[in-house]
Chains A and B, each alone.
Chain A
Amino acid sequence: MHIGQQIAQYLLSGLSTGAIYALIGVGFAIIHNATGIINFAQGEFVMLGGMFTVFFLTVLNLPLLVSVILAIAASTIAGVAFERLAIRPMKNASPISLVIITVGGSILIRGIAMLVWGKDTHALETFSGNEPIQLGEATILPQHLWIFAVTTVVIICSKLYFNYTISGKAMRACAYNSRAAGLVGIDVRRMVLFSFAISSAMGSMAGIIIAPLTMTSYDVGVMLGLKGFCAAIIGGMSSGLGTVFGGVILGILESLGAGIFSSGYKDAIAFIILLIILFIRPHGLFSKGDTERV
């Protein structure tokens, strides 16, 4: 394989992992914008998506589509429960307490998943076969196309939701100024609950579409969650194109870095990028201002 072909392959696989990071990152951004919280448990919802799908598919022998829908529903319920039981009781909490409580939540969810499903990694069948598709110099798996499709649809839907529905607009109002939103009659607490529901659903979708490629286990959420956060930071905590670019940049750099330097340091690359971004542009590469972040 000559070098051009290799680079093309790295770019393509970087693009698809980047799409996953973007999907997870958008989940971070939605909660952050509605509540000011960075949800350290976001990665656990990604894990839950994959694990629930495996569970419904192999243990209960349900068809794929039903399993996926049930898995998204179950993860969303977990997200809502987390908000009700751990986040809502924290009134006027300091950022440190919020960090600690979401870290606690992530450990708890991971622990419960480990007790329920064990420590083994589980494989999920690809949605439509393993026949690689030739794409110019590089090849691509059908599962990658699923990833691109799902990410695109989810991002477009969220854009439509935030711009054209009443509750979407209400959530944007909360993001802009939650007190003012409360004064004009928006139920801020319900919007916060919504934001957790939406982001856990999005996270679980990311977990489901990536599971056939990378396998899944109780502890995959940590790394995926953190990479998603990197994407969100690069994108300036926006739930739109910024985070998509952030995810894609991260995915491609990581894939190139792993291919050219060393695959062992692949995960370190993401964090070095994270640190650099935090040090030089903590508000992201694409941020314009504070308005309309959601």
Chain B
Amino acid sequence: MTKLRSFLKHEMVKFILFTILILFLPLAFKGGYLLNVFVFVGIHTLLAVALNLLLGYAGQISLGHAAFFGLGAYASGILTATHGQNPWLAMAVVAAAVGTLAFIIGFPILKLKGHYLAMATLGFGIIVYIAFNEAVELTGGPSGFSGIPNLSLGGFSFDTDFKNYYLIWGMTLVTILLSLNLVNSRIGRGLKAIHDSEVAARVMGVNVRFLKVQIFALSAVISSIAGSLYAHTMTFVSPTSFGFNFSVELVTMVIIGGLGSIYGSFLGAALLTFLPEILRAFQDYDIVVYGLLLIFMTLFMPGGLVRGIPALVGQIVSRAGAGSKADA
């Protein structure tokens, strides 16, 4: 019990430090271009945390998560811009609908394992992507859907990067806190058990099938909310943002940051959001770099940056220590 309490305290300290960092970050670069990039880091962190719950904790891969993100974005856009609904209401309704959809398809999809699960989620993602392109009357087709209003509270409109930064990071921080709680709870332990061995988890009394579907639906709900936030921030959405490549990018974020690490998701999201900006000078090289990163990380740093960097530092320190001892 005391162990658990000290563990939670430790987690809380980390979370508070992280929150302070996020809250004061905008002061460091006073608006402008970097702030805009950090707005996207926020949305991507939200998505990466959502996918990490599924991939990192429960060990179930999804190569179609961009679909949930896109469904959230398009449905929010259509409900608010075409039908004039309240954006907050729309966001909630859409998240509930996307969650229900994920829950329903979760039962047959999560029965599959490994490669088959990857292919099925990929297939789902592509079907949704094709629908975004083809349902022209609803979505505007390949040319996209514009005129989505910014979110507002009373008379206060979230119409600048500065305001959106705090809106999105507010949501992201709440999600991170809830996710930390979740993964350290009974459910989280159940998920880790599933990750290690489904049979053993079942023997220990975990309702494997139901738990997997639940976490899949939760992950979809968070992704859908991220989609709604994206739509209201950008005020424009187009299918290319929600294709197969973005699904893979999300998986890359989770892998690079570290499977089963919430803060790792932030690291991965930040790195992969900045990478294209840094590589802008070289334009198309980013796709090559993604591929190399995926291969190198899986081969040489399977724990992701979150575990890989400390391990690397430890190695160097111990080697240096050994070296200095030898000198002495």
A residues with CB within 8 A of B: 32, 37-38, 40, 86, 89-90, 93-101, 103-112, 114-115, 119, 222, 226, 229, 233, 262, 264-265, 267-268, 271-272, 274-275, 278-279, 282
Are A229 and B119 closer than 8 Å at their CB atoms? yes
- Do B61 and A89 have beta carbons less than 8 Å apart? no
Rounded to whole angstroms, the CA-CA distance of A117 and B61 in the bound complex is 32
Q: Is B120 in contact with A107, judged by CB distance below 8 angstroms?
A: no
Interface-centre pick from B59, B122, B244, B251 (highest chain A CB count, 10 A): B122
Could you list which residues of chain B lie within 8 angstroms of chain A, going by C-beta atoms? 55, 59, 61, 63, 108-109, 111-116, 118-120, 122-124, 126-127, 130-131, 133-134, 244, 248, 251, 255, 284-285, 287-295, 298-299, 302
Among B108, B295, B302, point to the contact of A105 (Cβ < 8 A): B295
- Residues of A within 8 Å of B294, CB to CB, are 100-101, 103-104, 107-108
**Given A96-B55, A226-B122, A279-B108, A107 and B287 touching (CB < 8 A)?**
yes
Residue pair B134, A275 in contact (C-beta under 8 Å): no
**Chain A residue with Cβ nearest B243:** A222
B307 → chain A closest CB, angstroms: 15
A-B contact pairs, 25 of them (CB 8 A): A38-B119, A40-B118, A86-B299, A95-B115, A98-B115, A100-B251, A100-B294, A101-B295, A103-B248, A103-B294, A104-B292, A104-B298, A106-B291, A107-B294, A108-B291, A111-B285, A111-B289, A111-B291, A267-B126, A267-B130, A271-B124, A271-B127, A278-B108, A278-B116, A282-B116
Known: A107-B287, A226-B126, A278-B116. A101 touches B298 (CB 8 A): yes
Are B295 and A104 in touch, CB under 8 angstroms?
Answer: yes
Cβ-defined contact, B123 with A115, below 8 A: no
Tell me the number of A-to-B contacts counted with CB atoms below 8 Å: 124
B299 in contact with A103 (CB, 8 Å): no
Chain B residue at minimal CB-CB distance from A107: B291
Question: Which residues does chain B contribute within 8 Å of A89, judged by CB atoms?
Answer: 299
With both chains docked as a complex, state the minimum distance between the C-beta of A277 and any C-beta of chain B, in angstroms: 10
Complex alpha-carbon distance, A271 and B131, angstroms: 12
C-alpha gap A38/B127 in the complex (Å): 21
Which chain A residues lie closer than 8 Å to B284 at the CB level?
A: 111, 114-115, 119
- Smallest distance from the beta carbon of B242 to chain A beta carbons, Å? 15
| Cα–Cα, bound, A207→B94 (Å) | 42
- List residues of chain B with CB within 8 A of the CB of A111: 284-285, 287-291
Which B residues lie within 8 Å of A105 (CB)? 291, 295
Would you give the shortest CB distance from A144 to chain B, in whole angstroms? 26
C-alpha spacing A107/B119, complex, angstroms: 16
Residues from chain B with Cβ under 8 Å of A272 in the complex: 123, 127
Nearest-neighbour CB distance to chain A for B44, whole angstroms, equals: 18
Closest to B302 in A: A97
Q: Assess whether A262 is in contact with B134, with CB atoms less than 8 Å apart.
A: yes
**B257: shortest Cβ distance to chain A, in Å?**
13
Question: What residues of A have a CB within 8 angstroms of the CB of B293 in the complex?
Answer: 104
Q: How far is the CA of A99 from the CA of B294 in the complex (A)?
A: 11
For A226, what are the chain B residues with a Cβ–Cβ distance below 8 Å?
A: 119, 122-123, 126
In Å, the complex CA distance between A97 and B292 comes to 14
Residues of A within 8 A of B112 (CB): 278, 282
Minimal Cβ-Cβ distance residue in B for A268: B130
Cross-interface CB contact of A99 among B115, B123, B126, B290, cutoff 8 Å = B115
CB distance from A246 to the nearest CB of B (A): 14
Contact status B133-A108, CB under 8 Å: no
- CB-CB nearest 9 A-B residue pairs: A108-B291, A104-B294, A95-B114, A111-B288, A107-B291, A38-B115, A111-B287, A271-B123, A264-B134
**Other than the known A104-B293, A278-B123, what 17 A-B pairs have Cβ atoms closer than 8 Å?**
A86-B299, A95-B115, A99-B63, A99-B118, A100-B294, A107-B290, A107-B291, A108-B288, A108-B291, A108-B292, A111-B288, A111-B289, A115-B285, A268-B126, A268-B127, A268-B131, A279-B109
